[in-house]
Amino acid sequence: MDPQTQMDISNLSEADKKDLSQILQNESQKTTIQQSVHQLSDICFKKCIAGRPITSGALSRDEESCAENCVQRWMDTQTSIITKLQSMR
Amino acid sequence: MSLFGSGSASPAPKSGSDVKAGIVQQLQQESAMNNARLLIEKINENCFDACIPAPGSTMSSQESGCISSCMDKYIQLWNISSKTYISRLGQEHKRMA
């Protein structure tokens, strides 16, 4: 961040600071979601696309449904892990 | 963007809302950059794996064609994951509420 902006933070009113903190929180949440999408795409590309020669630039029907299922089952996996861990406490 | 420090020659103190807008803009820019960087990194990794199993002294036209198709596929898959993940998050959120 450039020093000019940093110094000027003292000019912010309380309302501005509150507002900014809310915006920061939203951005941080957005970043978390984006990172999950990157992670999932990586995992699901390896599951659904890799291993066979790439002959076209379009996803086949099978690949499309595989990608969708991959995300859904990954989240099911996450849910079952959390449920099991909770039952073990 | 100027080379030497901030562009505004007059060091008049910015108003609070200007500062806020500046911070938000910078934040969003950096976030978008980060998102793009991650996508490039993942495509590079996965498509290199898929298309260049045995690196030769030059990239063949077949290999660069494969990279191009692979990239198209990856972006489509990324869109599907994004849509599926976000709709699932919405469902879970509703279920919890």
pLDDT in tens, B56-80: 999 999 999 999 999 999 999 999 9
- Domain B16-53+62-96 of CATH type 1.10.287: yes
Tell whether A42 is covered by a domain: yes
Q: Give percent of chain B with pLDDT exceeding 90.
A: 70
Residue type, B21: A
More confident residue, B22 or B17: B22
Q: Does A81 touch chain B (CB under 8 A)?
A: no
Q: Which of B80, B82, B86 to mutate to test the interface with A (most CBs of A within 10 A)?
A: B80
Asked if the Cβ–Cβ distance from A12 to B66 is below 8 Å, we say no
Q: Report the CATH number that the domain containing residue A45 is assigned in CATH.
A: 1.10.287.810
Q: What is the mean pLDDT of residues A60-83?
A: 96
Q: A74 CA to chain B: closest CA distance, Å?
A: 10
Tell whether A44 is covered by a domain: yes
- DSSP conformation letters of B55-80: --SS--HHHHHHHHHHHHHHHHHHHH
Tell whether A36 is covered by a domain: yes
Single pTM value for the model: 0.82
